[in-house]
């Protein structure tokens, strides 16, 4: 994709599952080093700020910045609020990988950031969020 302006949804969906889950887990934190090169290739060098310098073009330690970081942070905020509004029984069902009821899927957030970026948002992103919840990864 290069360094031109990126569409955050397209960029997110172009990443591997591991990179997507890592970035969604902590969109404003330090990226796992194994995904830095991939994120730079998909999103461009401007989307990654290196924390460590050195002769390598790919930093050893970096953080996501720019449109994808902002998009994921907004999505996490909305999805976290939605998740916290669910009953403990519903959250437990999702964690046990039970099917998300159609009525619950219709309750997924359909406002900011969805309307600002896409409607109703990336289904892949929502699925990844539910995967993080189901696998028990600590969400930052």
Asked whether the predicted pLDDT for residue 121 surpasses 80, the reply is no
What is the torsional sign of CA 112, 72, 97, 137? negative
Contact of 59 with 104, CB cutoff 8 Å: no
So what's the pLDDT on residue 1?
A: 45
Nearest to 104 by CA among 119, 122, 124, 87: 87
Confidence of residue 82 (pLDDT cuts 50, 70, 90): confident
pLDDT higher than 70, residue 94: yes
Q: Which residues contact 111 (CB under 8 A, 6 or more apart)?
A: 78
Sequence-ordered strand ranges (E) for 19-73: 48-50, 62-64
pTM, two decimals, is: 0.78
Phi, psi angles (nearest 5°) of residue 50: -75, 135
Can you give the C-alpha Rg of the chain in angstroms?
Answer: 16
> How many CA atoms lie less than 13 Å away from 11 in the CB half-sphere?
28
């Amino acid at each position: 994709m290069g360094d031109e302006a990126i569409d955050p949804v397209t960029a997110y969906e172009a990443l591997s599952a591991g990179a997507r889950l890592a970035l969604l887990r902590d969109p404003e934190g330090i990226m796992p080093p194994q995904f830095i090169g991939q994120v730079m290739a998909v999103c461009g060098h401007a989307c990654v700020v290196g924390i460590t310098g050195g002769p390598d073009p790919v930093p050893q330690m970096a953080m996501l910045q720019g449109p994808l970081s902002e998009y994921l942070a907004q999505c996490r905020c909305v999805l976290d609020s939605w998740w916290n509004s669910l009953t403990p029984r519903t959250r437990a069902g999702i964690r046990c990988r039970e099917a998300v009821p159609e009525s619950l899927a219709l309750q997924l957030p359909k406002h900011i950031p969805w309307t600002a970026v896409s409607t109703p948002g990336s289904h892949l992103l929502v699925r990844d969020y539910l995967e993080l919840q189901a696998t028990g990864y600590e969400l930052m």
